[in-house]
Amino acid sequence: MQRRIRLEARLTLGFGLAMAALLATMATVLYVSIGAVLLDEVDTGLRERAATIEAALPDTTSMSTSKALVEPQEAFAQVLRIDGSIVATTGTPNVVISAADARATVRPRVTTQRIAGVAD
């Protein structure tokens, strides 16, 4: 004897599966779009900071004198020559990235380093 599922149960199951698929799709779209917006905000901030640094370079060899470049407690900037020597810096006197790494970088990448004197 075959057991038949009642119509109400089949409708409930179908509706539940459809809603689960819809919610999963919406969550994925929301996650991806918010991630893209946040990444764009970070990129915009970095581009603005780079433009400020570039504008300050002809005027000074020590960027630490420029208030626009110094962000207390956490951020600093360095401009390096191709040989790896520091052209200008807002904070640490140590080279953060080697000349070989700088030359080899062809697309954005994230590196994390602990720098003495820079707050966490």
Is 95 in contact with 86 (CB distance < 8 Å)? yes
**Residue-averaged pLDDT of the chain:** 75
For the whole model, what pTM was predicted? 0.54
Give, in degrees to the nearest 5, the angle at Cα 11 between 6 and 15: 150
Annotated domain spans of the chain = 1-59, 60-120
Listed as own residue / partner, the contacts of 12-15 with beta carbons closer than 8 Å and 24 or more positions apart are none
Average pLDDT for 9-20 = 95
Model pLDDT for residues 43-85, shown as the tens digit of each residue: 888 788 777 777 766 655 555 545 555 555 556 677 766 666 6
Average pLDDT for 103-115 = 67
Q: What is the pLDDT of residue 26?
A: 98
Q: What is the pLDDT of residue 101?
A: 76
Given a cut of 90, whether residue 113 has pLDDT beyond it is: no
Average pLDDT for 75-100 = 68
Is 77 in contact with 53 (CB distance < 8 Å)? yes
Q: What is the pLDDT of residue 27?
A: 98
Q: What is the pLDDT of residue 45?
A: 84
Is 49 in contact with 90 (CB distance < 8 Å)? no
Q: What is the pLDDT of residue 46?
A: 79
